Amino acid sequence: MKLPWRVAAANVDEDAYLVGEPTVAAVNVALAKAYATAAEAHETIIAADTLVVVDSDILAKPQTTDEARAMLERLRNRAHHVLTGVVLQHARRTWAGVVDTRVVMRNYSRAEAEDYIARGEPFDKAGGYAVQDQTFRPVDGLEGCYLNVVGLPLCAVAAGLNALGTEAQSAGAPPCAYCTAGEGLVRSGS
């Protein structure tokens, strides 16, 4: 089933909505984005926010080269979690969920990280990286939803649409067919 859609900006200071508990923070930022988005009465708002969590610390989007460098160094050759809060609103009803994916970064070199930073890539990405970057390829493997790490877990969107009464094709709960479709893209061969 194809549903009509459009993109609407949600101008939100994401850092202002971060709270100590990462799961709550992910939903809190997504809720702020949903509330900041104007919708027609017949529309369903889908808002999401992705956070990288390592050692219980939230790594948001780096603002400077030094922040990006520090994040990439901290994540190198170790595991962390990616949490995406997803919020759907329709006709005064709200659905919210969080998808958690465990990600293991590869042991990339400092030179590789510096090249990635020089391309300007880290600055609009939680944790300073994109799993789908075909040049840097920072991720060695993951457990769970690949699309969650990209930034929009379609399994959660489908669950929210179904909960709000909009029948959406669902591939199940994470890891679902949507999640695993990208799994092969992150294997580095090590």
Active site residues: 49
Kind of pairing, strands 79-90 and 139-143? unpaired
Q: Which residues contact 20 (CB under 8 A, 6 or more apart)?
A: none
Which of 42, 49, 36 minimizes the C-alpha distance to 5?
42
Q: What's the length of the chain?
A: 190
Distance between CA atoms of 126 and 53, rounded to whole angstroms?
A: 9
Token representation of residue 17: 């909505």
Which of 68, 83, 80 minimizes the C-alpha distance to 156?
83
Cβ(123)–Cβ(20) below 8 Å: no
Looking at residue 145, the DSSP 8-state letter turns out to be -
